[in-house]
Amino acid sequence: MATDNRINFWRRNPKVPGRYPKDTKPKFNNTKPKKACSFHEFARSTNDAWDIDDEEDEDFLGTPAPASSLSLGLHSTSTKNQQLQNPAESESRIPDRLAPPRTEIQNLKDDQEEERDCEHLNGKVVKSNSEAHLNSSLVRSTLQKQQSLPVRPIIPLVARISDQNASGAPPMTVREKSRLDKFKQLLSSPNTDLEELRKHSWSGIPKEVRPITWRLLSGYLPANKERRELVLKRKREEYFGFIEQYYHSRTDEHYKDTYRQIHIDIPRTNPLIPLFQQPVVQEVFERILFIWAIRHPASGYVQGINDLVTPFFVVFLSEFVTEDVENFEVAALPLDTQRNIEADSFWCMSKLLDGIQDNYTFAQPGIQNKVKALEELVSRIDEDIHNHFKRYEVEYLQFAFRWMNNLLMRELPLRCTIRLWDTYQAEAEGFSHFHLYVCAAFLIEWRKEILSMVDFQGLLMLLQNLPTIHWGNEEVGLLLAEAYRLKYMFADAPSHYKK
């Protein structure tokens, strides 16, 4: 169809520049070619020459982000909105390395006056000196742009500037500082009130106290402050005792298939984050997953469990890293620190899996039941979506199995998963029960996009590749609020969503 359209276009337009009817010859005339009247329009018309996203293109051409954000590959939403409202002011703030020199800007202003110098000669456009200068400046600008743009994805998958109080982040608000002080007060008390800690953690845990809070909420550390150091020491030694006792058996006939599957899955874990491609980190994950598998023979290792290690590993690593976590070289840490992070990640992941182990036993009945419950729930809260799936023969198991198996980790950036797990650990049965309502809210979030798809393939492609790459704390907070509303309405009245 597209080919036919192109053929018809050329048949209807025999006199476009560079094409002439067979019975005529090219004529010299002063017909001016259609060209961009400004640098921005010209650059936009050729943005396919630069392999960048539309949003990045707009940031560079019309609404550039602050230099500090560009250097980190981060774009704050509030900054963008302010720049869109004040385009003149935004252009005045273009960094020197991105803005065309003053002489080039002047040439661009004079360009319209010099258009008459362009002529068609033998089907080719002969350009004036000013246009030659423009082209050279565009080449330079292209090179500058390619050098200045960060490697994609432009938003780090572990944390955005707006999602953390770290180097380069905006200063904490009064409310954020008050919340942090409250957490510190709770954690420093002789016996931490875990119910109070859960209440404050539901809406997110400050980065500075997240590691200790996660250890407490997962049941890994005791509430009694004096016992914590002793428990940590004992549990860490116990884990490395398992390593000495069992890890050598990974090549035994009985376990080699398990180890082989783990070894295959580890490189696939968060492949876009350099941290998880480091050999030392992959070895840590192999040990954690293998030891867990042989200590839980009822389920053993199942694909998807490998994802569940990553949030714990990143959170406990962040306790020792003040810079960019996703590019940090773990081998640079002292060996004892590496071992402590590994042991803590193992025990906290084990605590999580204790509550959802039926998700990973034979035939995975836990996941089957949760997918069925999701279908029943959606049929009550949004009949349009439910009927849309039925009309195009989309089964919930085709997309929601992964949502349950990986706890939405394949659907959300890791920074969002960490924020989501703040609430899961604060919520009673967060991973096993509340997750159902989060999945329902997540599905309804894409209602408009789902209903716009009118074929099976389009629906499945959408549901398996939902555009959440730019999500942060705000989006996750809204998702959790909607999930809480659904739970409040349906959790204590299951007959409301059962047919």
Q: pLDDT tens across 115-156, in order? A: 444 444 444 444 444 444 444 444 454 445 444 444 444 566
- Same domain for 143 and 43, yes or no, is yes
Question: Could you report the per-residue pLDDT of 64-101, keeping only the tens digit for each?
Answer: 444 333 333 334 444 444 444 444 444 333 333 333 33
Last residue of a domain, one of 321, 354, 387: 354
- Same domain for 306 and 387, yes or no, is no
Residue 166 lies in a domain: no
Total domain count, the chain = 3
- pLDDT score of 490: 86
- Same domain for 349 and 391, yes or no, is no
- Same domain for 37 and 142, yes or no, is yes
Give the confidence band of 4 by pLDDT, cuts at 50, 70, 90.
low
- Same domain for 451 and 337, yes or no, is no
- pLDDT score of 322: 83
Q: Where are the alpha helices (DSSP H) in 66-171?
A: 67-72, 77-85, 87-92, 102-110, 129-148
Three-point CA angle 433, 438, 442, nearest 5°: 155
Top-ranked range on mean pLDDT: pick from 23-27, 60-64, 281-285: 281-285
- Same domain for 110 and 187, yes or no, is no
- Same domain for 180 and 304, yes or no, is yes
Last residue of a domain, one of 309, 324, 354: 354
- pLDDT score of 491: 75
Residue 3 lies in a domain: no
Residue 153 lies in a domain: no
pTM: 0.68
Residue 334 zone, left/alpha/beta (φ > 0; ψ -120 to 50; rest)? beta
Residue linked to tokens 């039925």: 390
- Same domain for 182 and 296, yes or no, is yes
190: Cβ–Cβ under 8 A, 6 or more apart, which residues? 224, 225, 226
What domain range includes position 278? 174-354
CB 427 within 8 A of CB 434: yes
- Same domain for 37 and 72, yes or no, is yes
- pLDDT score of 492: 66
Residue 158 lies in a domain: no
Q: What is the mean pLDDT of residues 254-259?
A: 92
* Percentage, residues of the chain above pLDDT 70: 64
- pLDDT score of 395: 96
Residue 204 lies in a domain: yes
Q: What is the mean pLDDT of residues 429-456?
A: 96
- Same domain for 53 and 114, yes or no, is yes
* pLDDT above 50: residue 393: yes
* pLDDT above 90: residue 283: yes
* pLDDT above 50: residue 178: yes
Last residue of a domain, one of 286, 321, 354: 354
- Same domain for 315 and 374, yes or no, is no
* pLDDT above 70: residue 29: no
- Same domain for 335 and 199, yes or no, is yes
Q: What is the mean pLDDT of residues 328-347?
A: 97
Give 83 or 289, the one with higher predicted confidence.
289
Question: Could you report the per-residue pLDDT of 359-390, keeping only the tens digit for each?
Answer: 998 889 999 999 999 999 999 999 999 999 99
Residue 136 lies in a domain: yes
